[in-house]
Amino acid sequence: MWNSGFIGAEYGLPYASTFTLLFYRYLALTLLIFFYLILRDQFYWVGWRAAWQQMIIGLLSHGVWLTCVLFAIDYGVPAGIVALVFALQPLATGALSGVVVGERTQWNQWLGLIIGFFGVAIPVVLRVDFQNAYEVFAWFIPLGSVIALTAASLFQRKISLKRSYENVPKGLSLFYQSLASMIFLLLPAIFIEGLSVKWSPVFVSALIWLVLAVSLGAYVLMWI
């Protein structure tokens, strides 16, 4: 479900630019979750502290990482390679978990992380033309996604270990994360891209898939 988001992005980008596609995605997601929570009588204000924590996680794990993914695909990097580069994210999370949250990583786990890193790096590096600055820049954009989601994962883990942590229900958590992403994407979508969309059945289908299967399905499963 997670990796299908890279394919959904390829289907959506011919009809809308990066910020616009993501804005409509998170507008639809925010409204969908809001009405679901209202109907279930589960919507309430969680307080500023819990809200800003969830919104920071949302900005990193939705807004920033997806912007980098779509920019990379828009620059011509194949979706499969973007997904492969993004496979560094769990490796980075594992490598930094000791420093950030105090979880020890054993030597054999470090060996696994190193092997995994080279498994991702070798096929990517062999395909890059290092004489072409434009191409090198494009192929390094997905690393922004790795950094963003790693930071979000470690931040969420760190605050969840604190005694003062307020456990926000998953539905509300995703609402605040989605709301933050929508607000983050609104201005560039309007002032850079003019919210321009070529509406078509293909674009609407891609949008529906990205909202239901990826943003609701994959993200909820990841945080659980």
Average of per-residue pLDDT values in the chain: 88
User: Quick one: what percent of the chain has pLDDT higher than 70?
Assistant: 99
Share of the chain above pLDDT 90, in %: 44
Diameter of the chain measured on Cα atoms:
58
**Sequence letter at residue 136:** V
- pLDDT, tens only, 49-108: 899 999 999 999 889 988 998 888 888 888 888 888 888 888 888 888 887 878 777 888
Taking a C-beta distance cutoff of 8 angstroms, is the pair 202, 10 a contact? no
Q: pLDDT at position 168, please?
A: 85
The model's pTM: 0.84
Closest C-alpha to 174, from 85, 75, 58, 93: 58
The pLDDT value recorded for residue 164 is: 65
- Can you state the percent helix, strand and coil of the chain, rounding each to 5? 75, 0, 25
Check residue 112 and give its pLDDT: 85
pLDDT, tens only, 97-135: 887 878 777 888 888 888 888 888 888 888 888 888 888
Please tell me the predicted confidence (pLDDT) of residue 54: 92
- Residue 138 predicted with pLDDT over 70: yes
